[in-house]
Amino acid sequence: MVRKVSIFGSTGSIGCNTVDLILRHPDSYDVVVLTGGRNVTLLAQQAKATGAGLAVTAFEDCYDPLAEALEGSGIEIAAGPDALIEAADRPADWIMSAIVGAAGLAPGLHALRHGTTLALANKESLVTAGPLMLFEAKKHGATIIPVDSEHSAIFQALVGEDINAVERIVITASGGAFRDWSLDRLKTATLEQASNHPNWDMGQRITIDSASLFNKAMELIETKEFFGVHPDQIEAVIHPQSLVHALVGFTDGGLMAHLGPPDMRHAIGYALHWPDRRHVPVDRLDLVQIGQLEFRAADPDRYPALALSRFVMQTGGLSGAAFNGAKEAALNAFIAGNIGFLEMARVVEGVLEQIDAENGHNSAMITLDNVVQMDHLARNSAAEIIRKIAR
């Protein structure tokens, strides 16, 4: 049976891996929509290679270059945030949500309203609006399959299990680029150094978030939202090899671990073929060659992002939207060279404190409008703090 599929964020790291898997079995898929941002050359190439019906760039000023690159192809084109929403309304059996940042939330929500199967890589959706995503999925009979490797691992470990029999969930963190650096040395970390991940090949923003453990902080929140467990049941440990992605502990003391190579095509392939398992072209682990698996505690002094995520998990409401907006603003400021690596956590902490004192985080309902409003508030508050500490 040919499945209709769409890929939001096809030009990114997750998107390219998804296109790679689709192109290995082109007769099995009818590609409805591909979306990208500024990389219109790649978007046009992918659209031609997959025979996509529609190619959308998120930016209106990229319309002309995209039109030029696709001239004569017969592929429909569109541009801008509204075009992304309209593209999400196009019927598809399976949709990959792999736009980076809060911009991924609205298209994913729209896709859920059509009862689709949503492969969810965009972690900001669950962090900013987890209850809304789950509500919409339930209301419209849609299915969300997590694509983040840790959440895919938990999802797989829970097949056939009762969530009430879960005692704890452990997600692993590689520790990123700076896992062996001292706190003093971390103060001097540069953008170039933070952008090199020892194990995974990912987009730049998530690579930097891996070094600061903001990525892990997001994943703790995602775990609470998606699996509905209490924050005290979720922990993160450093596992430098990135082979064990997560473990689920049950009431009988058993611990189910999920192992796989650090290659996102495993989790993407699982989500693509779910509920079946099919061949996915990733390396197979050689356990004897690996020899030993290493785990260590995550040092809270070096990774303040983890404590901030605990605050968000306990506070709930719109605190996830505030956390994410502040984190994105702080990351932009680090990338622009305006603040240091450790100052990103200071900015997020300042924003959470300020918003909590002024508005409270959980006073408003989690609707798309309220999430967007909180995101703006957090970014403005972050901008003020960044101005004060900018070098």
Q: Is 95 in the site for ligand NDP (CB under 6 A)?
A: no
Closer residue to ligand NDP (CB): 201 or 353: 201
Closer residue to ligand NDP (CB): 188 or 196: 196
The dihedral built from the CA positions of residue 89, 94, 228 and 259, taken in this order, carries a sign that is negative
Q: Is 54 in the site for ligand NDP (CB under 6 A)?
A: no
- Tokens describing residue 66: 């995209």
Q: Which of 3, 24, 38, 113 binds ligand NDP (CB under 6 A)?
A: 38
Kindly identify the residues of this chain, within the stretch 188-247, that bind ligand NDP according to CB under 6 A: 200, 202-203, 205-206
Q: Which of 66, 96, 243, 264 binds ligand NDP (CB under 6 A)?
A: 264
Q: Is 153 in the site for ligand NDP (CB under 6 A)?
A: no
By beta carbon distance, the residue nearest ligand NDP is: 12
Q: Which of 19, 34, 77, 121 binds ligand NDP (CB under 6 A)?
A: 121
Residue 181: C-alpha distances to residues 190, 250, 294 (Å): 13, 34, 17
Q: Which of 39, 241, 359, 370 binds ligand NDP (CB under 6 A)?
A: 39
Closer residue to ligand NDP (CB): 123 or 379: 123
Stretch that binds ligand NDP, among 87-95, 122-130, 185-193, 324-332 (CB under 6 A): 122-130
Q: Is 122 in the site for ligand NDP (CB under 6 A)?
A: yes
> Whole-angstrom Cα distance, residue 171 to residue 117?
24
> Whole-angstrom Cα distance, residue 233 to residue 33?
39
- Tokens describing residue 125: 């959706």
Q: Is 282 in the site for ligand NDP (CB under 6 A)?
A: no
What residues contact residue 316 under an 8 Å CB cut-off, 6+ apart? 361, 362
Q: Which of 224-227's residues contact partners 24+ apart within 8 Å by CB, and which partners?
A: 224/130, 224/313, 225/126, 225/127, 225/130, 225/131, 225/133, 225/134, 225/320, 226/126, 226/130, 226/134, 226/144, 226/146, 226/151, 227/154, 227/158, 227/163, 227/166, 227/169
Kindly identify the residues of this chain, within the stretch 58-87, that bind ligand NDP according to CB under 6 A: 58
Stretch that binds ligand NDP, among 13-21, 285-293, 306-314, 347-355 (CB under 6 A): 13-21
Query: At closest approach, how far in Å is the CB of 231 from ligand NDP?
Result: 21
Q: Which of 5, 6, 12, 105 binds ligand NDP (CB under 6 A)?
A: 12
> Whole-angstrom Cα distance, residue 79 to residue 41?
14
Q: Which of 33, 75, 99, 345 binds ligand NDP (CB under 6 A)?
A: 99
Residue 262: C-alpha distances to residues 22, 159, 258 (Å): 20, 22, 12
How many residues are recorded in the chain?
Answer: 391
Q: How many residues bind ligand NDP (CB under 6 A)?
A: 27
Query: At closest approach, how far in Å is the CB of 172 from ligand NDP?
Result: 13
The dihedral built from the CA positions of residue 220, 327, 198 and 183, taken in this order, carries a sign that is negative
- Tokens describing residue 45: 């190439």
Q: Which of 13, 117, 156, 212 binds ligand NDP (CB under 6 A)?
A: 13
> Whole-angstrom Cα distance, residue 147 to residue 272?
10
CA proximity to 313, closest of 131, 53, 166? 131
Q: Which of 49, 67, 85, 103 binds ligand NDP (CB under 6 A)?
A: 103
Which residues are near ligand NDP by CB under 6 A? 9-15, 36-39, 58, 98-100, 103, 121-124, 148, 200, 202-203, 205-206, 264
